[in-house]
Amino acid sequence: MPKPIFVLNGPNLNLLGTREPHIYGAESLDDLRTRCEAAAAARGYAVVFRQSNREGDLVDWLNEARTAASAVVLNAAAYSHTSVAIYDAIKAMATPVVECHLSNPQAREAFRHVSMVSPAAKGVISGFGAKGYELAIEAAVHLAASQDAEKA
C-alpha cells in the first residue's frame, strides 16, 4: 500500500456543522473524515486526518508529511491568508499539496482573496462544500501517482 494521504485542517474547522452552516455546510469534521477515508480507500490509499487551531501544529504535520505522506490535502482555513510559516513548510517539501476550502474565498470578504498557501500548493479546490474534500483527495492521488511515475 502506498504512503497515506495527509488531510490537514486548520483553525475553527472543529466547529463544522455548527459554525456558519450557511457558509461552511451542515456536515461535521467527522463527516469530512468519513468522506476522505472513503474517497482515498476507493483509490487504494489510507488517510491521516488531523485538525488543529494552532499554526505550529500544521507546520509540524507538513514537515512530517515530507517523508510520511504520498500527498497532502490542506485546508489551512484562516491561516491560508496569513501564514508565511505554512507557505515555507510547503515550499520545503517535494510531496504535493492540494489546497482545499469549503467556501469560495474569492466570493467572500476582500481579506480572504489572497492566499499565502496557493503559490506553494500544486492546486486549489474551493467552493464545493464537503464534496471539495473528495475532489481534493482525487487530485492528491493523481499528483502522487504522477510523481511516482516521474521517479520510475
Q: In the CATH scheme, what architecture does the domain 5-151 have?
A: 3-Layer(aba) Sandwich (3.40)
State how far the Cα of 36 lies from the Cα of 131, in Å rounded to an integer. Answer: 9
Q: What is the pLDDT of residue 135?
A: 97
State how far the Cα of 76 lies from the Cα of 151, in Å rounded to an integer. Answer: 29
Q: How confident is the model at residue 31 (pLDDT cuts 50, 70, 90)?
A: very high
pLDDT digits (tens, 9 = 90+) for 112-121: 556 889 889 9
Q: Can you give the residue ranges of every domain in the chain? A: 5-151
Q: How confident is the model at residue 27 (pLDDT cuts 50, 70, 90)?
A: confident
Check whether 40 has a pLDDT greater than 70: yes
Q: What is the pLDDT of residue 17?
A: 82
Helix (H) or strand (E) holding 72: strand 71-75
State how far the Cα of 23 lies from the Cα of 39, in Å rounded to an integer. Answer: 23
Name the residues annotated as catalytic: 24, 101
Higher pLDDT: 74 or 24? It is 74
State how far the Cα of 150 lies from the Cα of 51, in Å rounded to an integer. Answer: 31
